[in-house]
Amino acid sequence: MPLTDSYGQGITYPTLTDKPNAQTLGQGIVDGLTPKTVMSFASAIVRGATIATPKAGMVTWLKDVGRLEVYDGTGWAVVSAGTSTWKTIMPSPPSYTQNGNSQGNFSYRIVNLFGEMGIMFRGGVGVNYLNKNVVTTQLNFNQLPIEARPSSLRTLVVPCSDANSARITLKMDVQSDGYLKLYGIQSDTNPPWVGFNGVFCSL
């Protein structure tokens, strides 16, 4: 009768009293070890078709989205989003320019935040005024790509200059259509720059 491993993982192996069968031996080892490894699938759909009844602790890699996930007993939870590079956001001219307050270019990246996908911002923009008003509340010239758009509106607080300004924070709306809107810059406010370091939200 087969025995199980010494580490409590339920992996069986044959004993000397078992009937010799090389195929059964090999299959038993493979079937026992495979669920304990990081299994790779083309997509979540392929994974679902392959693993009909996942067990808690199973770990998989999804190739199409570059994501590591673990089954927690009720569902697949994100462990890692893989490599996520910063991508520059072009500010809307003439109201906004890059590198406000020497904070670097206004950029974003997609990250895994506490088990769900999110968007993180950094850098800063300079603010140009025409008759003490900005030309537009639209912050980005081009829409964010679909994968960087939230499922619904996200409203965030962003810092702005304390000097030459009547306030030190503004409101940024991350819209589901991919546009960023900046509110709170008024004729009596006039901050010269806005920062985005450490600002993030879920998608």
Identify which of 180, 161, 168 has the alpha carbon closest to the alpha carbon of residue 121.
Answer: 180
More confident position, 28 or 7: 28
Q: Are 4 and 10 in contact, with CB atoms under 8 Å apart?
A: yes
* DSSP H or E stretch at residue 173: strand 169-174
- Which letter, b or e, does each residue of 161-171 get, where b requires 16 or more Cβ atoms within 10 Å of its Cβ? beeebebeebe
- In terms of pLDDT, which residue wins out, 54 or 18? 54
- 41 in Cβ contact with 66 (< 8 Å): no
Choose the weakest-confidence range: 5-9, 135-139, 182-186. 5-9
**203 vs 21, residue with greater confidence:** 203
Domain boundaries, the chain: 34-80, 87-202
| 86 contacts 122 by C-beta, under 8 angstroms | yes
Dist CA 163 CA 26 (whole Å): 72
- Rounded to whole angstroms, the Cα distance separating 31 from 26 reads 9
- What is 34-80's CATH number, 3.30.300.30, 3.40.1620.70, 3.40.50.300, 1.20.120.160? 3.40.1620.70
**pTM summary value:** 0.68
- Give CA–CA dist 65/82, Å, rounded: 9
What would the mean pLDDT of 34-55 be, rounded to a whole number?
86
> What's the rounded Cα separation, in Å, for the pair 178 and 87?
14
Question: What token pair was written down for 161?
Answer: 């200059």
Identify the residue with better confidence: 20 or 155: 155
CA distance 49 to 42: 11
> Tokens at residue 182, please?
């900046």
Confidence bin at 10 (pLDDT 50/70/90): low
- Distance, CA of 184 to CA of 189 (rounded, Å): 8
Separation CA 196–CA 121 (nearest Å): 6
> Is the confidence at residue 28, as pLDDT, over 90?
no
Instruction: Write down the residue that tokens 């495979």 correspond to.
Output: 34
Does 13 have pLDDT greater than 70? no
pLDDT digit string (tens) for 92-149? 998 899 999 999 999 999 987 777 789 999 999 999 887 666 768 899 999 999 999 9
CATH topology of domain 87-202: Immunoglobulin-like (2.60.40)
Look at residue 90 and tell me whether its pLDDT is greater than 90: yes
